[in-house]
Amino acid sequence: MESRLAQLAAAVGPLRRVLAALAARWIETRGHERLCYARLSDYARERPGVSARQLQELARVGRALRDLPRLERALVANELPWSKVRLLVRVLEASQGDEETWIALARVLSTQRLERAVREHAGTAVAHDPEREPTTRLTVRCSPAVLEKWLIAREFAERVAGQRLRAADALELVAAEVFSAISIEPRFVDTPEAPFPREPLEDTDPEDEPRPCPRASARELPHAVASLAQGLDEADAFELDRRLCQAVHLEQTLDAAIAPLLRVVTAAEYEWTDCYQPLARYAPESLGMSARKARALIRLERASEVCPELRDAYRSGRLSWVKAHCLLPLLLLDVDGEHRPIWVSWAERVTVRRLERDVERALLLRAAHDRAWFRCKLDPERAQDPIPPEERQMCAHDVDPEATQALVFRVPLDVAALFRGVRETLRHGLERASDGPVYDGDVFDAILDGALLSWTLRDPRARRPDPVAERDGYRCAVPGCTSRCNHHDHHITYRSRGGSDAQDNRVLLCAFHHRRCLHAGLMRISGQAPDGLLFELGLRSARGPLAVYRSGDVLASPACGGVDAALEQAA
């Protein structure tokens, strides 16, 4: 097992070099704008299916390797894993030391010791790594009703912030809103603890440190793969996108082969050939990946055992890394499995933006609304259907109001201290008013009530809200766009061409898509709002558009037979 994993890991370095070159060129040319994506994060999630941070890290290493030929050869030959190469790039970018010296040091040091050496040698000259920011785990237990209220509060937090927010960022905004209205008692404020200082290298027991693992010889990349990084200066945005997506697909295929072996060697009953290595050491040393990614691959493999369609879709490239992990909470539910292949198929046809909302909604419905859950379980397109008022009353007998849902956040230490201070201050006040204990879920409910009250108050003298913005949820209607501010009210059929001001002829667009895509001829919108629209993204003269979506962020069927038939499908 270990030797097979080492052979697979030997292919990671050369492939990562290709990915780094493609990512560097992509970011330099701002290719996402030509393909009608307002920001790099939207493109990264929707097209190759990776995070923007990963794409930026690849690009940073790709740019640096142009001037570091020895380090580039070490990566391609699998003499150094990717985890060490990215560390050396950080210190060499800051002009701290000689390339050969650092490569020689990296060969004899473990990744953990090399990271500490880089930090101690370069000090503040090395760019901050956001993955190393100290965080803590914050768990909030609440009822399904409070969970539903949290989703509403998160939506309002994004509207207030004017951008898409991670759950931890939304929690910070909610806590800050309540903090502005109450006085936190000092005794309830926890002082954030500084991260535990690392010992100097010379004071560390060498026996406790991981040792660098022997590296397998890298095989030469097939010409079809190596050619992806050739002629990048002449490639346009569409060609770069094709190559980048193909390279990411190849890495997914490699990850799909690594995942089952990785699960075997990390099992408790596995007997190591040499000596046992925990995952936090084995992944960066032998596989060149972070322990976080290794754990994610194991979760993906565990879900693939109950849903083989997930493994097939991921391995074939029909399902991206982001979409696959978005589905995991739903696929790993302890319920009958007939819904799993249906949801995998649905994920292939919708944007990440839509899939995240559908999975989040489906988990809520399972916890609180049985009838709605059974509807969307086998028909994911109905996940966003409103719940009839009579069903909300009827479900009271089917759902346990005392059932506990766990919300888990990974937040910076100062945010955790802020939230706990607000929570304990409110708990103290509620306990005095009720003359009894108040549980975490009730306090969290009160926190959400305070934030929502502040965000929903409206001056009666203020202008009435735009009905089009209300209908479209204060977000850009273009599939995959996460813009929550700078919105324009666009007429689908221009008024100069006889278009009316009726709401079915108007749609909410962000400034980028309205001015720099639609009116620049890079995008086309047709049909009737809100449910009968067709979005053609990435228009080009010689060939068809890059992608065609219908309302609801759903890909138009390629077999629909043209725009007219696609409009009929959308209607």
Does residue 194 surpass a pLDDT of 90?
Answer: no
If one counts every other C-beta atom within 10 angstroms of the C-beta of residue 395, the result is: 18
User: How many residues are there in the chain?
Assistant: 571
Between residues 478 and 205, the one the model is more confident about: 478
CB neighbours of 152 closer than 8 A, spacing ≥ 6?
448, 452
Least confident range from 118-122, 311-315, 538-542: namely 118-122
Reply yes or no on whether the pLDDT at 20 is more than 70.
Answer: yes
Reported confidence tier of residue 165, pLDDT bands at 50, 70, 90? very high
Please tell me whether residues 381 and 494 are part of one structural domain.
no
- What confidence tier does 286 reach under pLDDT thresholds 50, 70, 90? confident
Kindly report the backbone phi and psi dihedral angles of residue 502, in degrees, each rounded to the nearest multiple of 5, phi listed first. -60, 150
Range of the domain at 263: 2-131+211-287
The reply to whether 554 falls in a domain is: yes
pLDDT the model gives residue 132: 59
- The verdict on residue 449 lying in a domain is no
The average pLDDT across 482-490 equals 95
| H and E: helices and strands count for the chain | 26, 8
Residues 304 and 4: their CA atoms lie apart, in Å, by 21
Q: Is it the case that residue 571 has pLDDT exceeding 70?
A: no
Question: Domain check: are 392 and 511 in the same one?
Answer: no
pLDDT at 196: 45
Q: Looking at the domain assignment, is residue 268 inside a domain?
A: yes
Give residue 190's pLDDT.
Answer: 64
Across residues 428-435, what is the average pLDDT?
Answer: 88
If you average pLDDT over each of 162-171, 384-393, 398-407, 464-473, which comes out highest?
162-171
Number of domains in the chain: 3
The reported pLDDT for the residue numbered 269 is 85
Residues 488 and 368 in one domain: no
Question: Confidence band (pLDDT; 50, 70, 90) for 494?
Answer: very high
461 domain residue, yes or no = no
Residue 204 — very low, low, confident or very high, per pLDDT cuts 50/70/90?
very low
Determine the pLDDT at residue 203. Answer: 40
Rounded mean pLDDT, 240-265 = 95
Residue 143, domain member (yes or no) = no
The domain boundary residue, chosen from 397, 423, 441:
397
Clarify whether residues 265 and 374 are in a common domain: no
Band (542; pLDDT cuts 50, 70, 90): confident
DSSP strands (E only) in 348-461: 405-412
Mean pLDDT, the chain, integer = 87
Element (H, E) at 432: helix 413-434
Own/partner long-range contacts of 189-193 (Cβ < 8 Å, ≥24 apart): 189/417, 189/420, 189/421, 190/416, 190/417, 190/420, 190/421, 191/417, 192/413, 192/414, 192/416, 192/417, 193/413
Give the mean pLDDT of 274-282.
80
379 shares its domain with 310 = yes
Q: Do 358 and 504 belong together in one domain?
A: no
Final residue of a domain: which of 232, 253, 287?
287
SS3 80: coil
Does one domain contain both 514 and 374? Answer: no
Element (H, E) at 315: helix 308-316
Q: Is residue 417 part of a domain?
A: no
What percentage of residues in the chain have a pLDDT greater than 90? 64
Co-location of 495 and 565 in the same domain: yes
Distance CA 12, CA 111 (A): 17
Same domain flag for 47 and 102: yes
Q: What is the pLDDT of residue 173?
A: 96
Give pLDDT, residue 202.
40
The pLDDT of residue 271 is 83
Is residue 405 a part of any domain in this protein? no
Written as one string, the DSSP assignment of 346-377 is: HHHHB-HHHHHHHHHHHHHHHHH-HHHHHHHH
At 551, is the pLDDT very low, low, confident or very high (cuts 50, 70, 90)? very high
Quick check: is 292 in a domain? no
pLDDT of residue 434: 85
502, 529 contact by CB (below 8 A): no
Pairwise CA distance, residues 383 & 375, whole Å: 8
Q: What pLDDT does 270 receive? A: 84
Share of the chain above pLDDT 70, in %: 85
pLDDT for residue 244: 97
CB 570 within 8 A of CB 551: yes
Of the three residues 397, 412, 428, the one that is the final residue of a domain is 397
Residue, of 107 and 463, whose pLDDT is higher:
107
pTM reported for the whole predicted model: 0.89
Structure tokens at 357: 């909302």
Contact 346, 361 (CB under 8 A): no
Task: List pLDDT tens digits, range 208-240.
Answer: 555 556 665 666 777 878 899 999 999 999 999
DSSP string, 196-248: PPPPPGGGS-GGGSPPPPPPPPPPPPPHHHHGGGSSGGG--HHHHHHHHHHHH
Identify the top-confidence range among 79-83, 245-249, 439-443: 245-249
Least confident residue range of 260-274, 295-309, 451-465, 556-570: 556-570
Q: Which residue type is seen at 250?
A: L
Among 93, 101, 27, residue whose Cα is nearest residue 58: 27
Residue 198's pLDDT band (boundaries 50, 70, 90)? very low
Residues 477 and 508 occupy one common structural domain = yes
| C-alpha closest to that of 126 among 60, 81, 69 | 60
C-alpha–C-alpha distance, residues 120 and 123, integer Å: 5
Judgement on whether residues 15 and 114 belong to the same structural domain of the protein: yes
- Looking at the structure, do residues 215 and 121 belong to the same domain, yes or no? yes
